[in-house]
Amino acid sequence: MNNTRIPLLLLSPMAGFTDASFRLMCLKGGADYCISEMISAKALVYKDKKTADLAFLPVGDKPTAIQLFGHEPDTMAAAAEMIERGSFLGCRYEERPVAIDINMGCPVKKISLSGDGSALMKDPELCKRIVFAMKSRVDLPVTVKIRAGWDKKSKNAVEVALACVEGGADGIAVHARTREELYNPGIDMDIIARVRDAVPSHIPVIGNGDIKDGESAERMLKETGCDGIMIGREALGNPWIFKEIKATLCKESYTSPTPEERIAAAISLVSAVVAMKGEDKGIREARGRSAHFIRGLRGSAEIRAKLNSTTSLDEFKAILTNWDRNE
C-alpha cells in the first residue's frame, strides 16, 4: 500500500459527462482530484476500441483516477494491470492515472443485472475478492465507490466498506443513498458517519450526495467526519463549485462567475469535446452538456433550442456569442 492521500474535494465519476475536457475544467475550478467515467473492465480486456477513448488522460488531467466496473476478480485485476501499464489498445495517456476506482454503486439495470455496479453490494465477500485481486496485480492505489446499500432492508455500507478494506482498499467513497433510492430522496448522512467510524482512520472516507454549495459541503464534513467530499451533478454547469466550497471552508469571499464567464465556459467545453472527438460526435454529445452552463440565464430556453439544431462548431459559437440577453 502506498501513502497517496486523497485530497478534500473530488469530482464524482459521471458516465457521459466527466470526460477529459470536463475534468480539465473542474481541475481549473479547484477540484483536487477527478475520477473518470466508468469503464468496462471486460471491454478493456477484450480490447474494445471505444473504451480506450474513455480512458484518455491529456496533459494537465491530474490527479485523475480511472473507474472500472465489472464483477469478475480476474477480469478486474487484468484491466487494472492494463491501465497501470498503459498497455491497452489505443491507450493515449499523456498523464498517468493516480488510482483505480471500483464502481460499486451504479444503479442502472443493464449494469446491475449483469452483477456489476450496485449489485456488488449484495455480496461483500466478492467485493473483498475483487479489491484483493486488483491490489495483488497493481501498485496504484485501489479505491471503491459504494452506496448506502442495495435497499432499505440491506443498508450494509459499513459491512461492504470493511470487506473492501480487508481486501486492501486505499479509500472509500460513499454515495449516501441505496440502489433502490437512485437519486431521491435526500441523502442519509448517518451512513457516511458510520462508515467513517468503522474504517481505520488512515483510510480516507469520502462523502457524496447532494452537495450544492459551501454550506452543504460544510454540513457534510461536520456531521459525518468524512475526509473529503465528492461532487457530481452540481458541478455539471458549475465547475467553479470547488473554489466556492474552499472559500466557504476557509471563510473567504467568493464571487460567482458572471453570465459572460458561464457562456464562455459553454463554448470552451464544446470546443474541447469537438477537438477530442470530432465535430459531428462532439457537437451531438456536448450541446446538452453545455446547456448546464447557461441554465437560469434569461432567454436560455430559446438558445438551447437553437443549439439543439446546430451541427457545426462555428454556428454553435455564433449562437452563444451573439446572444442578446437584454431582449
Ligand X SMILES: Cc1cc2nc3c(=O)[nH]c(=O)nc-3n(C[C@H](O)[C@H](O)[C@H](O)COP(=O)(O)O)c2cc1C
Catalytic residues: 106
- 232, 237, 239, 282: which one contacts ligand X (CB under 6 A)? 232
103 makes contact with ligand X (CB under 6 A) = yes
Q: What secondary structure, in 3-state letters, does 202-253 show?
A: CCCEEEECCCCCHHHHHHHHHHHCCCEEEECHHHHHCCCHHHHHHHHHCCCC
Cβ nearer to ligand X, comparing 160 with 313: 160
- 40, 118, 208, 224: which one contacts ligand X (CB under 6 A)? 208
Distance from C-alpha of 160 to C-alpha of 146, rounded to nearest angstrom:
8
Evaluate whether 95 touches 60 at the Cβ level (below 8 Å). Answer: yes
Locate 215 and state its grid cell.
454550506
Distance from C-alpha of 218 to C-alpha of 123, rounded to nearest angstrom:
33
User: x/- contact string, 157-186, with ligand X (CB under 6 A)?
Assistant: ------------------x-----------
106 makes contact with ligand X (CB under 6 A) = yes
**Type of residue numbered 185:** P
37 makes contact with ligand X (CB under 6 A) = yes
Locate 148 and state its grid cell.
448506502
**Type of residue numbered 59:** V
Part of the chain binding ligand X (CB under 6 A), chosen from 219-227, 232-240, 264-272, 291-299: 232-240
User: x/- contact string, 46-75, with ligand X (CB under 6 A)?
Assistant: ---------------------x--------
User: x/- contact string, 7-36, with ligand X (CB under 6 A)?
Assistant: -----xxxxxx-------------------
Q: How far is the CB of 63 from ligand X (least distance, A)?
A: 17
- 210, 289, 290, 307: which one contacts ligand X (CB under 6 A)? 210
**Chain residue whose CB lies nearest ligand X:** 232
Q: What is the CA radius of gyration of the chain?
A: 20
Q: What are phi and psi of 11, to 5 degrees?
A: -85, 125
Q: How many CA atoms lie within 13 A of 51 on its CB side?
A: 22
Cβ nearer to ligand X, comparing 34 with 165: 34
99 makes contact with ligand X (CB under 6 A) = no
42 makes contact with ligand X (CB under 6 A) = no
Cβ nearer to ligand X, comparing 73 with 209: 209
63: cis peptide before it, omega within 30°? yes
Instruction: Specify the residue for cell string 473542474.
Output: 26
Locate 134 and state its grid cell.
486488483
Cβ nearer to ligand X, comparing 170 with 323: 170
Residues that bind ligand X (CB under 6 A): 12-17, 37-38, 67, 103, 105-106, 145, 175, 208-211, 231-234
